[in-house]
């Protein structure tokens, strides 16, 4: 009987400890999520006020997941390693910004400007990069994604949809376009050496004038390589 009492006591203590542990883990998880939401709110507020601020603070490592930053200007901003996953970037200006290791996974970029930005290892996986045009009675509006002069070495465009973007003189050395859909883009003067196009799903109606590629590059499907050679013959 004594053994039964001891056994029951041990089981009760173990059950109590386990329940306490589970409750503690649950509360910790809730607090972790609350802290993440608060951090994102603070980062978003600071990002929205960045262009207006007299003193330009660093936006490195900010978490701007899902943020709507359409129309905002981040010219020369320091956004290294910043997370912009699932963000909305309609006519946002990142010209001459530091975007090394920045993440734009699943973001929507309409007419976003990256002129002369430094974007080594930036990640655009599953992003939508697109051009939009609107015409009314008085005037027309064009939102053209512009990567002219940007440094995009080892940037990742896996599964991205890229339509109507301009890459004039962009450096795309070792960039990865695996499974991307690329159409109506202008790569005039771009450096495409070692960039990976082998498994690109689509690359149609693009301007490849004066691009730089490796001799007898194995990184392009034959059809695209022939088109590049045709445009530069």
Query: What is the domain extent for residue 181?
Result: 56-231
Clarify whether residues 123 and 12 are in a common domain: no
Strands 88-90 and 132-135: unpaired
CA of residue 60 relative to chain centroid, distance: 15
Q: Are residues 26 and 63 in the same domain?
A: no
Distance, CA of 190 to CA of 170 (rounded, Å): 5
Cross-strand partners of 110: 90, 130
Same domain? 12 vs 68:
no
One domain for residues 94 and 178: yes
Same domain, 22 and 90: no
* In a shared domain, residues 5 and 91: no
Residues 116 and 186 in one domain: yes
Does 2 share its domain with 60?
no
What is the Cα Rg of the chain in Å?
Answer: 25
Q: What is the 3-state secondary structure (H, E, C) of 59-77?
A: CCCCECCCCECCCCECCCC
Query: Are 38 and 60 in a shared domain?
Result: no
| pLDDT at residue 56, rounded to an integer | 82
- Confidence at residue 43, expressed as pLDDT on a 0 to 100 scale: 87
**Number of separate domains in the chain:** 2
Q: How far is CA 95 from CA 32, 43, 212, 229, 232, in A?
A: 34, 20, 23, 31, 29
Q: Are 79 and 98 in contact (CB under 8 A)?
A: yes
Pairing of strands 161-163, 181-183: parallel
- HEC per residue, 54-122: CCCCCCCCCECCCCECCCCECCCCECCCCECCCCEEECCECCCCECCCCECCCCEEECCECCCCECCCC
CATH number at residue 157: 2.160.20
193 and 125, same domain (yes or no)? yes
Assess whether 217 and 159 both reside in one domain.
Answer: yes
- One domain for residues 72 and 100: yes
> What is residue 9's predicted lDDT score, i.e. its pLDDT?
59
pLDDT at 110: 98
Q: What is the pLDDT along the chain (233 residues), one digit of tens a residue?
A: 555 666 665 666 556 666 666 666 666 576 657 766 777 889 898 998 898 887 888 999 999 999 999 999 999 999 999 999 999 999 999 999 999 999 999 999 999 999 999 999 999 999 999 999 876 655 667 899 999 999 999 999 999 999 999 999 999 999 999 999 999 999 999 999 999 999 999 999 999 999 999 987 789 999 999 999 999 98
Q: What is the pLDDT of residue 117?
A: 99
In this prediction the pTM is 0.83
Angle at 180 between CA 175 and CA 182, to 5 degrees: 95
């Amino acid at each position: 009987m004594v053994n039964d009492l001891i056994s029951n006591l041990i089981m009760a203590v173990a059950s109590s400890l386990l329940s306490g542990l589970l409750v503690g883990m649950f509360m910790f998880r809730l607090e972790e999520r609350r802290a993440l939401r608060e951090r994102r709110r603070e980062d978003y507020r600071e990002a929205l006020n960045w262009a207006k601020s007299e003193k330009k603070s660093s936006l490195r490592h900010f978490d701007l997941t899902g943020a709507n930053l359409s129309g905002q200007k981040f010219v020369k901003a320091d956004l290294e390693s910043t997370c912009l996953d699932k963000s909305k970037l309609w006519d946002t200006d990142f010209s001459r910004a530091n975007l090394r290791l920045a993440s734009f996974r699943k973001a929507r970029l309409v007419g976003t400007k990256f002129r002369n930005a430094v974007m080594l290892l930036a990640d655009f996986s599953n992003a939508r990069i697109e051009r939009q045009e609107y015409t009314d009675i008085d005037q027309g509006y064009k939102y053209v994604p512009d990567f002219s002069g940007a440094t995009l070495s080892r940037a990742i465009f896996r599964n991205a949809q890229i339509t109507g973007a301009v890459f004039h003189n962009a450096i795309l050395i070792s960039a990865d376009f695996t499974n991307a859909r690329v159409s109506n883009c202008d790569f005039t003067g771009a450096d495409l050496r070692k960039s990976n196009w082998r498994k690109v799903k689509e690359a149609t109606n693009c301007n490849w004038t004066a691009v730089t590629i490796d001799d007898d590059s194995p990184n392009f499907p034959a059809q695209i390589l022939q088109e590049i050679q045709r445009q530069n013959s």
